[in-house]
Amino acid sequence: MTPEALTGGFSAAPVQSAQAFRAALEAMARPGTLYPVAGAAPPAPLSVAAGVLILTLTDATTPLHLAGACDCPAVRDWVTFHSGAPLVGAAQAMFAVGRWDALQPVSRFAIGDAEYPDRSATLIVELDRLEPQGAQLRGPGIADRAALSLPGLAAFQANRAQFPLGFDTFFTCGSQLAGLPRSTFVEAV
């Protein structure tokens, strides 16, 4: 383990994790709304928001898949030290983090089953930009319509067609995050 892995975690874990958990809940409850988060300084290529989500949502009982460039020694050591999440392949993951292209095909992630739809993966997708414009969103938690800069439409439309099964998604960029639960309808502009 590298010495850098020992840094970059929450400095006031009880308070910062509670604030981050609230932001994550709000993001899933209000799809398309951007939320700022802070408190983590993860190694590159993870953004602050992705690091905050990993620190908040994973522990020794939540298998995590690191995709693409995120699967590097610095990130593996950081996750191991700060959350203890077991690092696994895509099929076993409860959480997965990476860029959209590295997470493909998304069909390899768990979508739950009829008896346990909650046994599905949550994807943390790192983006270059995250803005409230682009794809149109409607469904639970959205008064009329919302917009979000998604990396594509087809996968999210297919995911919604499987409801109540499917994966849930957090999008991260810098210190901002947004949520897209499987219950949200995604349409072109």
* pLDDT tens digits, one per residue of 6-23: 899 999 999 999 999 999
pTM of the model: 0.97
| In contact, 97 and 65? CB cutoff 8 Å | yes
The closest of 60, 63, 57, 46 to 8, measured between CA atoms, is 46
Q: List pLDDT tens digits, range 49-73.
A: 999 999 999 999 999 999 999 999 9
Angle at 100 between CA 127 and CA 98, to 5 degrees: 80
> In the predicted model, is pLDDT for residue 2 greater than 80?
no
Q: What distances in angstroms separate CA 104 from CA 109, 117, 173, one per listed residue? A: 9, 21, 19
Among the four given CATH numbers 3.40.50.1820, 2.60.40.10, 3.40.50.11310, 3.30.565.10, the one describing domain 3-187: 3.40.50.11310
pLDDT of 21: 98
pLDDT of 127: 98
Average pLDDT over residues 142-150: 96
pLDDT of 140: 97
Q: Is 103 helix (H, G, I), strand (E, B) or coil?
A: helix
Q: How many Cβ atoms from other residues are within 10 Å of residue 116's Cβ?
A: 10
pLDDT of 155: 97
Indicate the pLDDT class of residue 1, thresholds 50, 70 and 90. confident
Average pLDDT over residues 154-166: 97
CA dihedral 153, 57, 94, 8 (to 10 degrees): 90
pLDDT of 189: 84
Share of the chain above pLDDT 90, in %: 96
